């Protein structure tokens, strides 16, 4: 078992498999990297040791993980270990081509980053005219049963805050969960839309408990299932049960950490467990200064 300061048991590992992405979202930060130096078998080895330490939930992220051609193999290596959960965070653009292979490889579910439902606004926020492809990705995920499909909406004032009600309707019509996320200042300083403002705008809803390891608070509103993720106005560090492997192959204790263990070296030396045990000790009680790029850290 791995326990971080504050008695936080670590149960969840996020793996950023690449720093590459087709999009340049306004909230993601500038730095772009290449693919992770870790191979599918390296990810499998990491997951095996993580499971032996009580980490049973895994999420593959990026950059854009679907840009890695060997993604089904990465999924397969982790899936065959029998994790509690195995999910993927993607922008959905390539998902209609790969959802079936990923499901067959053992992927359970997906979160899809979708900043807007309006074509012009999507282009403005991501730099790419790809809303239709992303929506095809949502449909493919639903068709393949990668459920529940969760749609991540990072809200930015003056941009997509006008879309809140549209996303609620989208959730109801499609049967997806929509999650409004407070923007963390990675490459964007302004634009925070506090979750309470969203709540007020949507009016009272029925609270629901959704089982999962994540920090979202969920409620039902007019048949839609809506989540709020509040890293800024209600940080959840005291409940944080996760570690991350960045696209540079570094195991880090927090989204704002500079300290990390080089997992290429740890794997080469056969010292993976030692690296986990060292990193967890440095998990801060509260996140530090946001810097760097979400592409490398993996969101």
Dihedrals φ, ψ of 96, to 5°? -65, -25
Query: Which of 238, 177, 175 minimizes the C-alpha distance to 210?
Result: 177
Applying CB under 6 A, does 251 fall inside the site for ligand SAM?
A: no
252 bridge partner residues: 244
Nearest residue (beta carbon) to ligand SAM:
299
Q: Which is nearer to ligand SAM, 20 or 278 (CB)?
A: 20
Dihedrals φ, ψ of 141, to 5°? -65, -40
Cα–Cα distance measured from residue 107 to residue 6, given in angstroms and rounded to the nearest whole number? 32
Applying CB under 6 A, does 64 fall inside the site for ligand SAM?
A: yes
206 bridge partner residues: 220
Six-digit token string for 279: 């990193």
Of residues 79-118, those binding ligand SAM (CB under 6 A): 89-91, 113
Applying CB under 6 A, does 294 fall inside the site for ligand SAM?
A: yes
Applying CB under 6 A, does 248 fall inside the site for ligand SAM?
A: no
Surface-to-core class of residue 249, CB atoms within 10 Å of its CB (0-12 exposed, 13-18 middle, 19+ buried):
buried
Give how many residues touch ligand SAM by CB under 6 A.
19
DSSP-derived pairing of the beta strands 109-113 and 150-155: parallel
Instruction: Select the residue interacting with ligand SAM from 36, 61, 87, 246 (CB under 6 A).
Output: 61
Q: What is the closest distance, in whole angstroms, from the C-beta atom of residue 298 to ligand SAM in the complex?
A: 6
Cα–Cα distance measured from residue 40 to residue 42, given in angstroms and rounded to the nearest whole number? 5
Applying CB under 6 A, does 299 fall inside the site for ligand SAM?
A: yes
Applying CB under 6 A, does 12 fall inside the site for ligand SAM?
A: no
Applying CB under 6 A, does 18 fall inside the site for ligand SAM?
A: no
Q: What is the closest distance, in whole angstroms, from the C-beta atom of residue 111 to ligand SAM in the complex?
A: 6
Q: Print the binding letters for residues 161-200 with ligand SAM: x by CB under 6 A, - otherwise.
A: --------------------x-xx-x--------------
- Do residues 63 and 83 make contact, with C-beta atoms less than 8 angstroms apart? no
Q: What is the dihedral of CA 272, 274, 277, 280, to 10 degrees?
A: -60
Q: Which is nearer to ligand SAM, 79 or 152 (CB)?
A: 152
Q: What is the closest distance, in whole angstroms, from the C-beta atom of residue 170 to ligand SAM in the complex?
A: 16
Q: What is the dihedral of CA 20, 26, 30, 32, to 10 degrees?
A: 0
Applying CB under 6 A, the residues found at the interface with ligand SAM are 21, 27-28, 61-62, 64, 89-91, 113, 152, 154, 181, 183-184, 186, 294-295, 299
């Amino acid at each position: 078992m791995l326990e971080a300061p504050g008695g936080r048991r670590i149960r969840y590992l996020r793996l950023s498999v690449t720093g590459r992405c087709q999009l340049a979202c306004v909230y993601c930060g500038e730095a772009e990297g290449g693919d992770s130096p870790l191979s599918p078998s390296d990810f499998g080895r990491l997951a095996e040791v993580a499971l032996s330490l009580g980490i049973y939930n895994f999420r593959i992220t990026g950059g854009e993980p679907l840009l890695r051609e060997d993604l089904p193999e990465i999924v397969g290596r982790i899936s065959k270990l029998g994790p509690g959960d195995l999910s993927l965070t993607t922008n959905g653009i390539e998902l209609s081509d790969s959802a079936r292979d990923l499901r067959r490889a053992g992927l359970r579910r997906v979160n899809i980053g979708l900043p807007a439902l309006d074509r012009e606004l999507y282009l403005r926020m991501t730099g790419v005219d790809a809303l239709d492809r992303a929506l095809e990705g949502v449909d493919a995920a639903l068709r393949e049963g990668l459920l529940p499909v969760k749609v991540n909406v990072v809200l930015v004032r003056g941009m997509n805050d006008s879309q809140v009600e549209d996303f609620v309707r989208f959730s109801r019509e499609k049967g997806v969960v929509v999650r409004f996320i407070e923007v963390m200042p990675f490459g964007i300083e302004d634009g925070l839309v506090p979750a309470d403002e969203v709540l007020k705008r949507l009016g009272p809803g029925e609270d629901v408990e959704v089982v999962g390891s994540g920090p979202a608070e969920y409620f039902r509103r007019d048949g839609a299932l809506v989540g709020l993720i509040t890293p800024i106005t209600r940080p959840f560090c005291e409940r944080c049960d996760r570690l991350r492997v960045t696209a540079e192959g570094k195991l880090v204790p927090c989204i704002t950490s500079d300290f990390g263990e080089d997992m290429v070296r740890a794997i080469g030396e056969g010292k993976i467990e030692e690296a986990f045990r060292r990193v967890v000790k440095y998990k801060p009680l509260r996140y530090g200064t946001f810097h760097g790029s979400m592409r490398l850290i993996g969101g």
